Structure 1
Amino acid sequence: MTAFPLWAERLYNTPVALAQHKNDALCEFAEMRISGKSSLPERIGVGSLEGVQMRAMSDEASFYNEDGRKPFQFKGSIAVIPMRGTLVHRADWMDAESGLCGYNRLLKQFRAARDDRDIKGIFVPTNSGGGECAGMFAAAEEIAAMAKAEGGKPIYVYLDEQACSAAYVLASAGDKVLGRRECIGGSIAALMNMIDKSKAYEKVGLEPHVVRASWADRKAIGTGGEKFDAELLTKMGSLVEEISEQIVEFVAAMRHVPVKALKSLRGEVFSGRDLLKYGLIDDIVSEQEAWAMLEEEIDQAA
């Protein structure tokens, strides 16, 4: 049997906030790799699972001006902080090249834009199916605290393609959430992927034995090919339920949508018109129009 590689530890046996299409794609890749029944290359390019297009005004942003380099892209007085790829707790610039977007890197750019006197607003082009729950709430709460609604600079999130699950949690922290008619978003809940490998062990004639302290009989239960029992599944279900409640409560507070209404969406993904109908975005506009709206708000505040 093949042990889970490090990248799989982010996908299995821990709560994640991913849209179904994103979760299915990642799990399919993972299962083929773990089972060895695939001719995939050694390195999975997660970024290939999602488009990374940036269009219109944000595409003209640069890190540089006559004074040197900033820690974020910008155009005029607007910082551009893309939220693209699979969201993870921590990632560096090399991970970003593989399609991972670290909450730590996002916050570093947001903080720099907040503290930059030349920057009057923040534009966030978004294309992410979600990611890890670890670090998600801390990032979303800090971004919300930087928004104009809390006395900061206006933050406009633009759904260039998608903002699902963890990505939507962060998007909801902005002052405005806008998108194209064909954009998708929502999937407001967490989930957990688990694989019971006991039948695979049995099939190849292996009987797992995990030695535990006499008083720690539930430690790492279900590991090493042990069969999952009802108590384990109930406990993991309770954990997912708790995190999902926190997600719904946060989005409800940010978007001023009742918790009951959000739960009635049942974790589904929606496209532009329905996102607008359910109060998950503020308007359906092009990226140029969204940019112009932010510029107008900045001008009015000057």
Structure 2
Amino acid sequence: MSDPFDNDVHGAAPSGAREPGWERATLEKLAYAALNEQRSARRWKIFFRLAWLSVFVLLIWALLHRSTTTVDKTTAHTAVVEIKGEIASGADASAEFVVAAMRSAFEDEGAQAVVLLINSPGGSPVQAGIISDEILRLKARHKKPIYAVVEESCASAAYYIAASTDKIFVDKASIVGSIGVLMDGFGFTGLMDKLGVERRLMTAGENKGFLDPFSPQTESQKAYAQAMLNQIHQQFIGVVKAGRGQRLKESPELFSGLFWTGQQSIELGLADQIGSLDYVAREVVKAEELIDYTRRENVAERLAKRFGAAIGEGAVRAVRSLPAIR
């Protein structure tokens, strides 16, 4: 007969006992659970990053391909190109944008004439010169009239452009003219002397510090700058005389940099008559339908130009920095 106490010694362990290594098994389970949680967190992190990247890409795509109303440009119409704000490289009224718009307008068969709708205080003579030269080339090539319609202002470089068109229409209160050139800046040498500040400027070339606001300006430098301004001024005058011809009523003040109202500009021969955009399309061009050819830089293009490289590099870095899932 077996001893009832043999199971305690040779049989199963008591119910309160644990198998050897249970602590290690428990730690492994906890470690695997923590690892799985980290992997899950990484997956969600990657998901949200890719989701935001997708949203950004879709936004850029939508801005670049925003829907526009389809217009039949083969029907008779008046083509409009706006020149608004400062005429400068990188601006909406840059030669790059204006010239591209004018080319499209002249090349379309349905465009009976091109109207430059101007509201600008002026800007770069270089940009204005490029636009003016292109006006003359396109007129000669396509044999289409081009008119300027002035809203609030057509001054300085803006008038440089308008003078090359066939006719200039203004409002009686428009500001027109300012046929002149300027170069401005500041000089702080007197203030530096009072404060006891010494300017230490070293150059290779005696005129390399020309127009430095913290250095005195010599008489020869002043004469050089004035000669350069005079030359550009004469170029401006030449464009105005070539464009306006016998319509100009020359006076000593005409090319002095003064500006006039629209009504006065007509009397001086700087403009031709009172007229709005609708009036010119209806009564002069005889094509009331207006189609805008103006090139405008949208938000996406600005982002692409200013931040495109940085965004692309940042996206590559973000993808590279994503933790690997194993």
What's the TM-score once normalised by structure 2's chain length? Answer: 0.61
Shift of the 219–287 alpha-carbon distance from structure 1 to 2, 3 Å rule, reads same
Contact 1:81 1:109 in 2 (8 A): yes
Cα deviation, 1:216-240, whole Å, max 9, x if unaligned, reads 2122234261011211111111111
Q: Which residue identity is paired with 2:94?
A: G
Q: Quickly say closer, same or farther: Cα 1:199–1:75, change in 2 above 3 A.
A: farther
Whole-angstrom CA distance in 1 between matches of 2:250 and 2:68: 41
* Cα distance change on mapping 1:110 and 1:259 into 2, 3 Å: same
Aligned AA (2:133): E
Counterpart of 1:18 in structure 2 is none
Q: Please show how residues 100-179 of structure 1 align to structure 2 within 5 Å.
A: 101-147=93-139, 151-179=142-170
Task: State how far apart, in whole Å, the 1-side matches of 2:123 and 2:162 are.
Answer: 13
Matched, 1:252 2:257: no
Q: Is 2:85 the counterpart of 1:85? A: yes
What is the aligned-residue identity percentage?
A: 24
**Matched AA of 2:172:** R
Number of the residue aligned with 2:268: 278
Aligned partners of 1:228, 1:260: CA distance in 2, in Å? 39
Residue 79 of structure 1: SS of its match in structure 2?
Answer: strand
Q: Are the structure 2 counterparts of residues 205 and 259 from structure 1 closer, same or farther at C-alpha, using a change threshold of 3 Å?
A: farther
Query: Which residue matches 2:191?
Result: 200
4+ long deviations beyond 6 Å: none
**Residues paired across the two proteins, number:** 222
Please give the root-mean-square deviation of Cα atoms over the aligned residues, in Å. Answer: 2.9
CA separation in 2, counterparts of 1:167 and 1:66?
A: 29
Note if contact 2:265-2:271 (Cα within 8 Å) is conserved in structure 1. Answer: yes
Any residues of structure 2 matched to 1:1-302 within 5 Å, and which? 64-66=69-71, 77-88=77-88, 90-91=89-90, 95-96=91-92, 101-147=93-139, 151-213=142-204, 216-223=205-212, 225-257=214-246, 261=250, 264-265=253-254, 266-296=256-286
Q: What CA distance in whole angstroms lies between the structure 1 residues aligned with 2:279 and 2:175?
A: 18
Please give the secondary structure, in 2, of the residue aligned with 1:273: helix
Q: Which residue of 2 aligns with 1:14?
A: none
In the superposition, relative to structure 1, how do residues 63 and 284 fare at CA in structure 2: closer, same or farther (>3 Å)? Answer: farther
Counterpart of 1:159 in 2: which secondary structure? strand
Contact 1:249 1:259 in 2 (8 A): no
Distance 2:285 2:134 in 1: 23
> Structure 1 residues 168 and 209, CA, compared in 2 at 3 Å: closer, same or farther?
same
For 1:203 and 1:152, the matched residues in 2 are separated by: 64
Whole-angstrom distance in 1 between the partners of 2:247 and 2:114: 27
Deviations 1:102-137 (A, max 9, x none): 121111111111222232211221111100122221
Q: Secondary structure at the residue paired with 1:135? A: helix
What SS is found at the alignment partner of 2:286? helix
Matching residue's letter, 1:291: A
Q: Distance in 2 between matches of 1:77 and 1:64?
A: 16
Q: For residues 218 and 205 of structure 1, do their structure 2 counterparts lie closer, same or farther at Cα, with a shift above 3 Å needed?
A: same
Contact map agreement 1:83 1:125 (CA 8 A) in 2: yes
CA shift, 1:63, in A, is 6.4
8 Å CA contact 2:107–2:142 kept in 1: the answer is no
Secondary structure of the residue aligned to 1:122 is strand
TM-score normalised by L of structure 1: 0.66
- With over 3 angstroms needed to count, the CA separation of the structure-2 counterparts of 1:223 and 1:260, relative to structure 1, is farther
Deviation of the 1:76 alpha carbon: 5.4
- Is this contact kept in 2: 1:210–1:224, CA < 8 A? no
Q: Which runs of 5+ in 1 are unaligned?
A: 1-61
Q: Which amino acid in 2 is paired with 1:253?
A: A
Rg (Cα) greater in structure:
2
Separation in 1, partners of 2:148, 2:247: 21
Return the structure number with greater helix share: 2
